[in-house]
Structure formats: structure tokens, C-alpha cells
Amino acid sequence: MKLAYKEDPLPKYIAVEGPIGVGKTTLANKLAKSFNYDILLEMPAENPFLEASYKNPTQSALAAQLFFLFQRVQQMEELKQRSLFEPVRVADFILEKDRLFAEVVLSVEEMKLYDKVYDHLTLDSPTPDLVIYLQAPVEVLMGRINKRGNEYEQYLTNEYLTKINEAYSRFFLDYEKAPVLIVNAADINFEENEEDYEMLVTKIMSNPKGKTFINPQPSIL
């Protein structure tokens, strides 16, 4: 889509967030193309502990979470270093998601260790100008996960996804670091429905403040 000129400044750093399977990466790629932004993506396939942690979280979850933490902190450092030359970007994660997932899968003692590492590494991470939080019920997430067929995701359960969904809801209830667009991604299709996507872009370009909810419009018969 072609973006019209606007006087208000666009957010220079947009982060797309939400549970596994909700469509973060698809939307981030589309936004990056529309706004001609640099893109920063999660790399779950590079985590050698991820599949084992899905199979047996009690044995491998801490290793998987620490790997993700170090990986994303490095990505944030690279982002800061590039910012002088590439001042606009869109990402399919925020750094705080690592602690959100850690709280779901780690034991109390593991969490204490994780927090010591997390607090040491995340003191100066960049904050998005806008966060787009995609929501969807577990059955929708599971359907999309099964459809894309990633090997390391075959062990995900409804119980695990329910906990992740609940953790995201709690997190964004109190999130105030940046404006948040909260999107009902179960009934909105940004990949295939251009009207849905243009509606989102219009919201982004309106310089939103606080929390804004985006739901599908009811049909008029």
C-alpha cells in the first residue's frame, strides 16, 4: 500500500508482540515493507535448547531462556549501534518478553538466577515508540502453529499456550513504557485482508497515545 504524507512524526521504532502463532513476524515484515523500515526479527530456530525445553521444560527451560536472553540483548546492542545510520525499524519482539516467558516456565530458584542475569544485561535497552500487541484465543494459536509446521513447536500444548496468553494479558495491563495498539488478531487478517491492514496503518499514523483497542467492525445487514 502507498502511504500518504502526514505532518505528525511516525513512530521510529515499532515492536509487534503477542503469543506464539499470533502472526507477529508476518505483520512486522509487512509493516517494514510499507514504511521502508529496517527489520529486527526473533531467531528461535537458532536456540539449540528450544525443542528440548518444549519436550521437557523442567530440564531445559533455564538454558533455553538464557540463550534467548543473550541473543536478544545482543540484537538490542546491534540495534543501538546501527541507530545513527538506520533510525527507523520494526521488530517482532520486545526484550521484556523474555522475562514474561521465564516466569511461566522456570522454577522459583531458577527465576532468581535468571533475574540476576536479566537485571545485569537489560539496564539500557531501547524502548519502542509504539507496541502492537496481537491477541488470539488458544484454539486459534494452535491452529496457526499446526499449519506452519515448525518441528520444534510440535510439543506445544494448550495448557502452555494458555499460560503464555495469560502472562501477556497481565503484562500489558500495566505496561506504560510506550503507546500500545491491542489488536484482536483472531478475527482480523493483516496478511490477506488489505482493508484490515490499511485500518491498522491508519491507526499507527494517527500518533496513538496510551492503550487503543482494535476489533473487527460488526457487519451491517
pLDDT tens per residue, range 160-194: 999 999 999 999 999 999 999 999 999 888 888 89
The pLDDT tens digits of the residues spanning 96-125 come to: 999 999 999 999 999 999 999 999 887 677
CA 207 centroid distance within chain:
20
Q: What is the pTM of this model?
A: 0.91
Mean of the pLDDT values across residues 132-157? 93
Residue 68: pLDDT above 80?
yes
The domain segmentation of the chain, as residue ranges, is 13-214
Residue 201: pLDDT above 90?
yes
C-alpha distances out from residue 90 to 84, 144, 214, Å: 15, 22, 19
Q: How far is residue 209's CA from residue 216's CA, in Å, rounded to a whole number?
A: 20
HEC string for 18-48: CCCCCCHHHHHHHHHHHHCCEEECCCHHHCC
Closest by Cα among 201, 74, 180, 174 to 128: 180
Q: How far is residue 96's CA from residue 100's CA, in Å, rounded to a whole number?
A: 7
* Residues in CB range of 12: below 8 A, 6 or more apart: 87, 88, 89, 129
**pLDDT band for position 219 (50/70/90)?**
very low
Residue 150: pLDDT above 50?
yes
Mean of the pLDDT values across residues 64-93? 83
- Cell representation of residue 207: 500518533
Q: How far is residue 208's CA from residue 54's CA, in Å, rounded to a whole number?
A: 37
- Cell representation of residue 126: 531501547
pLDDT at 5: 42
C-alpha distances out from residue 171 to 37, 95, 216, Å: 27, 13, 23
pLDDT at 86: 60
Buried b / exposed e across 70-94, counting CB within 10 Å, b at 16+? ebbbebbeebeeeeeeeebbbbbbb
Q: How far is residue 38's CA from residue 89's CA, in Å, rounded to a whole number?
A: 4
Closest by Cα among 60, 59, 62, 68 to 20: 68
The pLDDT tens digits of the residues spanning 10-55 come to: 899 999 999 999 999 999 999 999 999 989 999 999 999 999 999 8
Q: Which fold has domain 13-214?
A: Rossmann fold (3.40.50)
Residue 152: pLDDT above 90?
no
Residue 203: pLDDT above 90?
yes
pLDDT at 169: 96
Closest by Cα among 48, 187, 180 to 127: 180
